[in-house]
Homo-oligomer: A and B are copies of this chain.
Amino acid sequence: MRNIKIIIEYDGKDFNGWQKQPKKLNIQGEIERAISEITGEEIELIASGRTDAGVHAIAQSANFKTNSNIPIEKIPIAINTKLKQSIRIKSAEEVDERFHSRYNCKQKTYRYIINNGKTASALYRNMEYFVPEKLDVENMKKAIKYFEGEHDFKGFKASGTSSKSSVREIYKTSIEKNEDRIIIELTGNGFLYNMVRIIVGTLVDVGLGKIKPEEIPEIINSGDRTRAGKTLPPQGLYLVKVEYK
């Protein structure tokens, strides 16, 4: 069987997240249906990981197996004709039959966009999080550096979620200010449930002066969810890149 890897952009606003579930519009289900319509097969689409309701993807990665002999370069266009415009397959490539979008993932990059202007934006309201109080970006830049490296992020995951281990490594972080927008990026070997949204929520508390940058290591080490910031809303979050070994 052929193993096809696809890169997907989607507008999270229109869906109840990635994962297939009955009666709720979801991205996985929509794409599986579209591929089934063009191949005539039942399709199982494996993504690098789920994204929550409202979270966007610039380049989610997923793979599926098929016996169809449709040429690889025709696959994105063919699938796109069967999809809503809020999901677009950007490219497709043939990969080794053992390739698995989730197990083989080496690192992921997430972006979070904060609008720190005077007024919320009408045009970008579903694509960013609005903070009217002026944030101290220099302090946020100091604070984010403490998240780099391997840490137990027990205090930075949604309560009640069970993962075997909450140790993750963050390879790279960045914060850029572009006029009113603050753009935060995190690259790591994996992220716990809500972890990016809680880290950025904590950075917002730093920007507001509620937490000092130097307090971050202690907050991470405490493993105490209540000491980290709040979980920011999903519409500011983007899965930007998924990289493989």
Q: Which of A's residues lie within 8 Å of B, judged by CB? A: 9-11, 56, 58, 76, 80, 85-91, 118-123, 125, 127
Nearest B residue to A13 by beta-carbon distance? B123
Chain copies in the assembly? 2
**Cβ A125 vs Cβ B80 within 8 A:** no
Which of A80, A123, A125 lies at the interface centre, i.e. has the most chain B CB atoms within 10 A of its CB? A123
Q: Tell me which of B86, B120, B125 contacts A125 (CB under 8 A).
A: B86
**Cβ A11 vs Cβ B88 within 8 A:** no
Nearest B residue to A12 by beta-carbon distance? B123
Q: Tell me which of B10, B11, B76, B86 contacts A119 (CB under 8 A).
A: B76
- When distances are taken between beta carbons in the complex, the residues of chain B under 8 Å from A76 are 119
**Cβ B56 vs Cβ A119 within 8 A:** no
**Cβ A127 vs Cβ B119 within 8 A:** no
Contacts A11-B122, A85-B120 aside, 6 further interface pairs with beta carbons under 8 A come to A9-B121, A9-B122, A76-B119, A86-B125, A88-B119, A91-B118
- When distances are taken between beta carbons in the complex, the residues of chain B under 8 Å from A87 are 122
The 11 listed contacts between A and B (C-beta, < 8 Å) are A9-B122, A10-B123, A11-B122, A80-B120, A85-B125, A88-B119, A88-B120, A88-B122, A89-B119, A91-B118, A123-B127
- When distances are taken between beta carbons in the complex, the residues of chain B under 8 Å from A91 are 118-119
A123 to B121, CA, bound (A): 16
Q: Tell me which of B10, B58, B122 contacts A10 (CB under 8 A).
A: B122
The 3 tightest CB contacts between A and B, nearest first, are A88-B122, A9-B122, A85-B125
Nearest B residue to A123 by beta-carbon distance? B11
Nearest B residue to A80 by beta-carbon distance? B119
Query: Distance (Å) between the CB of A193 and the closest chain B CB?
Result: 23
Q: A88-B119, A119-B89 are in contact. Are A11 and B58 (CB under 8 A)?
A: no
A15 to B90, CA, bound (A): 30
- When distances are taken between beta carbons in the complex, the residues of chain B under 8 Å from A125 are 11, 85-86
A12 to B118, CA, bound (A): 21
Nearest B residue to A56 by beta-carbon distance? B123
